[in-house]
Chains A and B, each alone.
Chain A
Amino acid sequence: DTEVTQTPKHLVMGMTNKKSLKCEQHMGHRAMYWYKQKAKKPPELMFVYSYEKLSINESVPSRFSPECPNSSLLNLHLHALQPEDSALYLCASSQERQMNTEAFFGQGTRLTVV
């Protein structure tokens, strides 16, 4: 199984809503990532988790709150988002402490904030 599964595929939320994006992998990867991608732009790194601990936060606003409850799951909790936060949110995973391995990406959650 070399899949990273993201749910939901599409999400529309209001600016006062609270929602969560979910990501799951069963490849035994101990590094997991959240990326944000605006239309016609490259993916931008948001967060990296290593062994269930947050290791990189790319100065992401606090209205985005990541969580890694176990080695297979990664969540992104969303609260009080703005319309400009509408984007494709990508999850990825990779081996940790093993050099030069590739990252596997999910198909993304397309988020629209209204």
Chain B
Amino acid sequence: DAKTTQPTSMDCAEGRAANLPCNHSTISGNEYVYWYRQIHSQGPQYIIHGLKNNETNEMASLIITEDRKSSTLILPHATLRDTAVYYCIVKRPAGNKLTFGGGTRVLVKP
């Protein structure tokens, strides 16, 4: 599975959009981009995933560049409860191996 690079940490203001970048320049054509987050002392939680088209659900939006070498997770209106470590993961469609990288520690401030 392709490796991902994310900023170590970032702060964002409550009520504002949070834009979390992820680089995956070695992604293969059939690999998907997944995002999970882990709130302190809890298990990781699935957020969203996509292949090449932009995706949106009730939690977030995922924007994938046309060359698929990077993506951005957007939390449209960050709340204090969104403070967590956010993991960007590239995964092949088949197989069960979900490999976590370092993630971005996001702190939402009032």
Q: Which residues of A contact B (CB under 8 A)?
A: 4, 31, 33, 42-45, 48, 50, 55-56, 90, 92, 94, 96, 99-100, 102-108
Contact = CB atoms under 8 A, between A and B. Distances in A.
A95 to B, nearest CB: 10
Given A42-B103, A45-B99, A92 B43 contact: yes
Nearest to B102: A42
B98 A103 contact: yes
Interface residues of B, number: 22
A56 B97 CA distance: 8
B34 A94 contact: no
B68 interface: no
Nearest to B101: A42
Main secondary structure on B side of the interface with A: loop
Main secondary structure on A side of the interface with B: strand
A105 B93 contact: no
Given A90-B43, A100-B93, 10 more contacts: A42-B102, A43-B38, A96-B96, A99-B93, A100-B49, A102-B46, A103-B44, A103-B98, A108-B41, A108-B42
B100 A42 contact: yes
A102 B43 contact: no
Contacts of B96: 31, 33, 48, 50, 55-56, 94, 96
B108 to A, nearest CB: 19
B99 A102 contact: no
Contact of B44 (A43, A44, A56, A96): A43
